[in-house]
Structure 1
Amino acid sequence: MKKNIVLFVLFILPIVAYLFFASGVNNFAKLPTVTANIPDLGNWKTTKGEQLSLNEKITVIAFPGTEILYNKGDAFNLNQKIYNKVREFKDFQLVMIAPIGTESQTETLKEQLASISDLSKWHYVFAKPEEIQSYYNKLNLIGQLDKNLRTPNVFIVDKKRNLRGRKGKNKKGEAEYKEGYNSISAADLHNEMGDDIKIILAEYRLALKKNSAERIK
């Protein structure tokens, strides 16, 4: 009896939670892959000389460009609508890929954000402009970087380095494609990206619970 109760708590309840998370605007049982196996971050480093990796992390990737302080509203929206709500998840990180030469701007912005948020999982890595453009091209997206190497869109990448989004048909049977989420729009982040990142987190929570249940059998 006790064993059955444990299995119910570890396995059945997570499935119910998963179905709840997946029942929002997005009607996919799993969030589709837009681009599979995108490149890792290579040798790019933070201001502290740290190298980051996309492997085994749920990552939000952004390309803030050269005018980071001018467009800081994007970062504040992302911080409040997404980052603060999921930063407690163990394997989550946010990575901004910024041009070399913008380090002082990022430090200023992080000081401003630090007054309202724990930024321990909010990172900037720096690369040459041509490296950023080359990396972005490999994501095989419809949207493009502007002349300042910026896009307001931010992207969800899973633990296997698959860029995830919406591709297929929505509840109304209409064709839907969404490769990124507009950080200018608080509504887009709060509603669509918030819904989609919950699905990704639920996938991994369910997988962890399922593995735990199988070990108990």
Structure 2
Amino acid sequence: MKKYLVLGVLFLLPITAYIFFASGVNNFAKLPVLTAGVTELTQFQTLEGNPVLLENHITVLGFFGTEVTSKHGNAFNLIQKIYKKNEGFEDFQLVILLEKGTETEAKALQQKLNEMADMTNWKFVFGSTDAIAQVFDSLKTDHVLRPDYSTPFVFIIDKDRGLRGRDDDEDVGMLYGFDARDVAEINNKMSDDIKVVLAEYRLELKKYKADRKI
């Protein structure tokens, strides 16, 4: 019985690994940097008054602006389809930019989200509308901020503050961000692309450790 068990594991493990690594649209090829030098979040603070930085983090960046209540659906989609899948990865964070003065509404939303996941790596950060616009403009996308300084689109920012996306998406060509209102888009395309970026950094870390041993 042990012999067959060992043979079964040896047979199934490579197949399982192949299916896992071949499951992504990009097959873990390096996801393109569409914009370099996204503005750092030095003008923002969390509910607790702490700074949050993009540098050295893999960040899902969203913009709720001056209006929180109408964004609850987007937040629930993100926590279920993106955040809960990746919160355990080192250096991963989900950051939402809001205007100063919306702290009370953000706290109410955070309490609801706390019932669904550990919110340690989910950051609501607050700054002026000018600061929000400055960060958004630095993404250099084909999207625009709404009058309430929000957008339904969320963006993947790498550890070097580069905006990651697709330059050959089958539907839109240049894909800068993902519509948080669209469960299918964030559950499939965005989830896949985050998987690509995380795999890239894991490979770099393994290479670094291997080089150190040499």
Q: Which category of TM-score, normalised to the shorter sequence, fits these structures?
A: 0.7 to 0.9
Q: What is the RMSD of the two structures over their aligned residues, measured on CA atoms?
A: 2.2
Q: Which residue of 2 aligns with 1:167?
A: 167
Equivalent residue letter for 1:52: V
Alignment of 1:141-180 (within 5 A): 141-168=141-168, 176-180=173-177
Q: Which residue of 2 aligns with 1:52?
A: 52
Aligned mates of 1:180, 1:150 — CA distance in 2: 13
Q: Which residue of 1 aligns with 2:206?
A: 209
Q: Secondary structure at the match of 1:95?
A: strand
CA positional deviation for 1:214: 2.1
Q: Secondary structure at the match of 1:168?
A: strand
TM-score normalised according to structure 1 size: 0.85
CA offset digits 1:112-145 (Å, max 9, x no partner)? 0101110000001111112211221121111001
Alignment of 1:52-71 (within 5 A): 52-71=52-71
The percentage of aligned residue pairs carrying the same residue is 44
Equivalent residue letter for 1:71: K
CA offset digits 1:19-43 (Å, max 9, x no partner)? 9446522367110111111111013
Q: Any gaps of 5 or more consecutive residues in structure 1?
A: 1-12
Q: Which residue of 1 aligns with 2:10?
A: none
Are the equivalent residues in 2 in contact too, given 1:154–1:180 (CA < 8 A)?
Answer: yes
Equivalent residue letter for 2:192: D
CA offset digits 1:136-168 (Å, max 9, x no partner)? 112111100111111000000000000100013
Is 1:198 aligned with 2:204? Answer: no
Is 1:184 aligned with 2:181? Answer: yes
CA offset digits 1:147-200 (Å, max 9, x no partner)? 111100000000000010001365xxx872100011001111110000000000
Are the equivalent residues in 2 in contact too, given 1:21–1:198 (CA < 8 A)?
Answer: no
TM-score normalised according to structure 2 size: 0.87
CA positional deviation for 1:215: 2.4
CA 1:57–1:181 in structure 2 vs 1: closer, same or farther (change >3 Å)? same
CA 1:67–1:30 in structure 2 vs 1: closer, same or farther (change >3 Å)? same
Are the equivalent residues in 2 in contact too, given 1:18–1:199 (CA < 8 A)?
Answer: no
Q: Which residue of 2 aligns with 1:10?
A: none
Q: Secondary structure at the match of 1:88?
A: coil
Are the equivalent residues in 2 in contact too, given 1:62–1:97 (CA < 8 A)?
Answer: yes
Aligned mates of 1:21, 1:164 — CA distance in 2: 19
- Which sits farther off after the overlay, 30-39 or 192-201? 30-39
Q: Which residue of 2 aligns with 1:128?
A: 128
Count residues in correspondence.
200
CA positional deviation for 1:67: 2.0
Are the equivalent residues in 1 in contact too, given 2:40–2:135 (CA < 8 A)?
Answer: no
CA offset digits 1:86-128 (Å, max 9, x no partner)? 0000111111110111110100000001011100000011111
CA positional deviation for 1:50: 0.1
